[in-house]
């Protein structure tokens, strides 16, 4: 889970404690039960619970009461997603990732200075983040804090992190206005099936916009060419009017990438919406043959 990537040990324990609290019936809501679920000593459970309360009262002062007894806390007023977002936004590792990804001219030194942390300390705290990046075939620059590697994988990783972190509770990007991105998404003739998928696509388009502003282009779409034979699989969302100086081949690659999300990754099951276009009608036949042979051999 991303909590272990971006959060320190105590923050992870506080997050785990809240998930346990939210799962317990009110009659079982006591420190002994919580500690047993988490395999904590009673003293550690008490300490982590007090730290959790400090956080809750910090980002939701209305919940603060004179008594901090566990039965008096209205935990139904706080969601797991809200608390995770609070923790991530206060995480130095997440801040470093966001800074390197969105800043137009980031440097490791400027970030460490402005956040009052040494480069060695920040590097140590980012060790789990580097392990995550390795799974995507990526690295983070020790000079700029920018992600390095295949541009498609950078986009996938960024979407994964931002969607998991914000989960529709807030707009993640200061550099990109949400209403501008929504206008682009709304151009689609076959719009998203729900507000959730619409918001997911907005985040993907915003990430695209950030990367294009920084001149980080999708230079090749070899896999797309193999699967779809270069055909367009949906209406282009972005146009020459949106990006007047970007080469047309890069713009075409951008639309292909966005359409993979729009028309397939975020599309509901064909069994739920049988009238929607099936990816099987678009993919090169030899690949579908391989897929069906795999299913027949290992799934059936």
Domain ranges in the chain are 3-78, 166-300
Q: What are phi and psi of 147, to 5 degrees?
A: -75, 140
* Residues near 139 by beta carbon (within 8 Å), at least 6 away in sequence: 130, 133, 147, 148, 149
Per-residue pLDDT at 284? 58
What's the pTM?
0.87
- Please identify which residue in the block is written with the tokens 């470093």: 96
Per-residue pLDDT at 256? 87
Distance of CA 96 to the CA centre of its chain: 15
Q: What angle do CA 64, 65, 71 make, to 5 degrees?
A: 105
Read off the pLDDT band of 277 (50, 70, 90). low
Per-residue pLDDT at 192? 59
| Least confident window among 7-16, 56-65, 132-141, 273-282 | 273-282
Which neighbouring-strand residues pair with 139?
148
Helices (H), the chain: 3-6, 9-23, 31-38, 42-59, 80-89, 92-102, 108-114, 119-125, 127-135, 151-166, 178-185, 195-213, 222-228, 248-260, 285-298
């Amino acid at each position: 889970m991303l909590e272990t990537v971006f959060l320190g040990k105590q923050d992870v324990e506080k997050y785990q404690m809240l998930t346990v609290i939210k799962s317990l019936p009110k009659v079982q809501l006591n420190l002994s039960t919580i500690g047993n679920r988490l395999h904590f000593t009673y003293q550690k459970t008490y300490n982590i619970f007090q730290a959790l309360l400090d956080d809750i009262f910090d980002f939701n002062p209305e919940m603060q009461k004179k008594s901090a007894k566990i039965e008096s806390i209205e935990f139904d007023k706080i969601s797991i997603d809200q608390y995770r977002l609070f923790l991530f936004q206060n995480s130095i590792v997440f801040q470093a990732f966001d800074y390197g990804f969105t800043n137009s001219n980031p440097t490791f030194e400027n970030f460490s200075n402005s956040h009052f942390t040494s480069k060695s300390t920040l590097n140590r705290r980012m060790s789990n983040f580097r392990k995550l990046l390795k799974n995507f075939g990526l690295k983070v620059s020790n000079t700029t804090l920018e992600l390095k590697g295949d541009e498609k994988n950078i986009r996938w990783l960024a979407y994964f992190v931002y969607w998991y972190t914000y989960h529709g509770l807030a707009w993640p990007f200061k550099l990109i206005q949400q209403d501008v991105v929504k206008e682009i998404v709304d151009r689609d003739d076959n719009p998203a099936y729900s507000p959730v998928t619409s918001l997911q696509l907005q985040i993907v388009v915003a990430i695209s916009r950030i990367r294009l502003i920084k001149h980080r282009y999708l230079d090749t779409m070899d896999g797309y060419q193999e699967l779809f034979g270069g055909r367009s699989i949906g209406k282009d969302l972005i146009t020459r009017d949106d990006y007047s100086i970007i080469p047309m081949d890069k713009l075409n690659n951008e639309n292909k990438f966005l359409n993979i999300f729009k028309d397939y990754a975020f599309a509901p099951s064909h069994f739920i919406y049988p009238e929607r276009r099936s990816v099987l009608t678009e993919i090169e036949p030899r690949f579908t043959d391989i897929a069906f042979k795999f299913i027949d051999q290992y799934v059936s």
